[in-house]
Amino acid sequence: METLKGKTTVDAMHDRMQLMLLPFEGFMPHLAIIRVGENPADVSYERGAKKRMEKVGVRVSTYEFPADISMEEFTEAFQFINHDDDVDGILLFCPLPRQLDEKRIREMIDPVKDVDGISPVNQAKVFAGDETGHAPCTAEAVMEVLADARIDLTGKEVAIIGRSLVVGRPLSMLMLQKNATVTICHTRTQNMEAVCRRADILVACAGKAKLVKASYVKNDAVVIDVGINEDEHGKLIGDVDFDDIADVAGKATPVPGGVGMVTTSVLAKHVIKAALARRDVEKMALRNNEG
């Protein structure tokens, strides 16, 4: 079995992003990271995101708020960042504490700056196949890994275990756009093993440690593990039993070192894309004023 390492994809994306940055002539696109509370997973992702942005050439500002902040206070601070012309992209960690109206906040965010695809506008664009929108970073990271491995999705059967709005559903739309035949599996799917065993490409994003065993995997299939879990020793493990599938799968991503590390590179790409889109709008407005 071939291991599809995230670093290979990250390195290739880095080179492409350097080309994307050329029109800025030294100007650095700007990402604002907004975090409420001290969720360890959010803090860890924030740390990794800041390192990735620094390597690519994206500025980062972090805004940390107490977990008990009121909706009124948070809305005022959020709108200030949302309307700041110096900010090109916003990463808002979700879910938010219960006292904050997450649905309302998702509706507030400027879709151009919404670099993790949480706004209704970007969700609609992903489902419509409109590439001007931002897909959730994890879903797009899966597509980057497959593209880097030169895996053609045309006509392939794909099974996705998990139907969240963060990975499963948007990923199914991205794969449909590449002409795959997609089945989404979930907790109510009958005989999930048999469904998955038909798939040429199997994606596990259920959030259940070592759910996928060899019995789920078609011979020589590509297995993409999006899960991030901890075992009893605190070690990171995926939704796939990597050792168990080794004699069946043709290619597979590890955890850690797979899709997860590609996600921050997708985030950086989205910030650059957002900055380019804003520059185009500014140029158009300038031309209109001159006319």
Q: Are residues 167 and 241 in the same domain?
A: yes
pLDDT at residue 281, rounded to an integer: 52
Q: Are residues 160 and 252 in the same domain?
A: yes
Q: Are residues 105 and 171 in the same domain?
A: no
* Residue 130 in domain: no
* Residue 202 in domain: yes
Q: Are residues 243 and 142 in the same domain?
A: yes
* Residue 267 in domain: no
Question: CA triplet 262, 264, 266: central angle to 5 degrees?
Answer: 70
**282 band by pLDDT with thresholds 50, 70 and 90:** low
3-state secondary structure the chain: CEECCHHHHHHHHHHHHHHHCHHHCCCCCEEEEEEECCCHHHHHHHHHHHHHHHHHCCEEEEEEECCCCCHHHHHHHHHHHHCCCCCCEEEECCCCCCCCCHHHHHHHCCCCCECCCCCHHHHHHHHHCCCCCCCCHHHHHHHHHHHHCCCCCCCCEEEEECCCCCCHHHHHHHHHCCCCEEEEECCCCCCHHHHHHCCCEEEECCCCCCCECHHHCCCCCEEEECCCEECCCCCEECCECHHHHCCCCCEECCCCCCHHHHHHHHHHHHHHHHHHHHHHHHHHHHHHHHC
Q: Among 61-65, 105-109, 186-190, name the one with the lowest average pLDDT.
A: 186-190
What's the rounded mean pLDDT across residues 15-41? 94
CB distance 260 to 237 below 8 Å: no
* Residue 193 in domain: yes
Q: Rounded to whole angstroms, how far apart are CA atoms 202 and 168?
A: 12
Q: Are residues 147 and 197 in the same domain?
A: yes
Bridge-partner residues for 63, per DSSP? Answer: 34
* Residue 6 in domain: no
Paired tokens of 230: 């901890």
Q: Are residues 252 and 171 in the same domain?
A: yes
- Quote the number of domains for the chain: 2
Q: What is the CATH number of the domain that holds 26?
A: 3.40.50.10860
Task: Indicate the residue among 78, 113, 148 that finishes a domain.
Answer: 113
Q: Are residues 87 and 151 in the same domain?
A: no
Q: What is the CATH number of the domain that holds 163?
A: 3.40.50.720
* Residue 163 in domain: yes
Report the candidate in 44, 35, 52 with the shortest Cα–Cα distance to residue 272.
Answer: 52
Residue 155 pLDDT more than 90?
yes
* Percent of the chain residues topping a pLDDT of 90: 91
Task: Report yes or no on whether pTM surpasses 0.85.
Answer: yes
**104 — phi, psi (to 5°)?**
-65, -40
* Percent of the chain residues topping a pLDDT of 70: 96
pLDDT at residue 290, rounded to an integer: 46
* Residue 186 in domain: yes
* Residue 88 in domain: yes
What's the rounded mean pLDDT across residues 143-169? 97
Q: Are residues 143 and 217 in the same domain?
A: yes
CB distance 174 to 135 below 8 Å: yes
Q: Are residues 97 and 144 in the same domain?
A: no
pLDDT at residue 285, rounded to an integer: 41
Q: Rounded to whole angstroms, how far apart are CA atoms 191 and 108?
A: 41
Q: Are residues 91 and 28 in the same domain?
A: yes
Q: Are residues 92 and 148 in the same domain?
A: no
Q: Are residues 161 and 224 in the same domain?
A: yes
The mean predicted confidence, pLDDT, of the chain is: 94
pLDDT at residue 36, rounded to an integer: 98
Domain limits for position 246: 137-260
